């Protein structure tokens, strides 16, 4: 169960966003029409480890590349904390099953900067894994 900082517990918009985003993140992307990009602003930046993408087309391609060797994954968000009215910090773990049948679990942390306090689209998402 995700633990939200006291000031975020009643923020239903953010709670729904986090749940829906990581559920989508755990869905293998289709060749076309990947809904994952809908969570990002048009000129958003995504950084995952050593990989980075700017704009929705690059974000879609990065996601395709990341999933190339993965058959299944599941994110568990442990904590969500506010930095200010547009930025949050998260941490958790992700379970992977690779195409060769092997599996692993990795801890991660992330920094999200939303486009506005409405917290509907990310303009910056950085994952430390």
Give me the pLDDT at residue 79, please.
99
Nearest to 89 by CA among 24, 27, 18: 18
Per-residue model confidence (pLDDT) at position 16:
97
Dist. CA 99–CA 46, nearest whole Å: 24
Indicate which CATH number applies to the domain containing 20: 3.10.450.50
Q: How far apart are CA 47 and CA 124, in angstroms?
A: 8
End-to-end CA distance of the chain: 20
Q: How many domains, in total, are found in the chain?
A: 1
Which residues 6+ apart lie within 8 Å of 78 measured at CB? 2, 3, 91, 92, 93
- Domain of 113 in residue numbering reads as 3-128
Instruction: Please write the tens of the pLDDT for every residue from 36-65.
Output: 999 999 999 999 999 999 999 999 999 999
Mean of pLDDT values over 108-116: 98
């Amino acid at each position: 169960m995700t633990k939200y900082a006291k000031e975020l517990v009643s923020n239903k918009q953010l709670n729904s966003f986090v749940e829906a985003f990581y559920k989508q993140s755990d869905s293998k992307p289709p060749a076309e029409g990947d809904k994952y990009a809908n969570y990002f602003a048009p000129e958003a930046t995504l950084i995952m480890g050593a990989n980075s993408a700017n704009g929705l087309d690059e974000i879609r391609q990065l996601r395709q590349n990341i999933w190339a060797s993965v058959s299944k994954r599941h994110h568990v968000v442990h904590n969500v904390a506010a930095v200010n009215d547009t930025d949050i910090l998260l941490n958790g773990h992700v379970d992977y099953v690779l195409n060769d049948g092997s599996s692993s679990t990795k801890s991660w942390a992330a920094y999200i900067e939303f486009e506005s306090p409405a917290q509907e689209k990310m303009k910056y998402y950085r994952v430390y894994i």
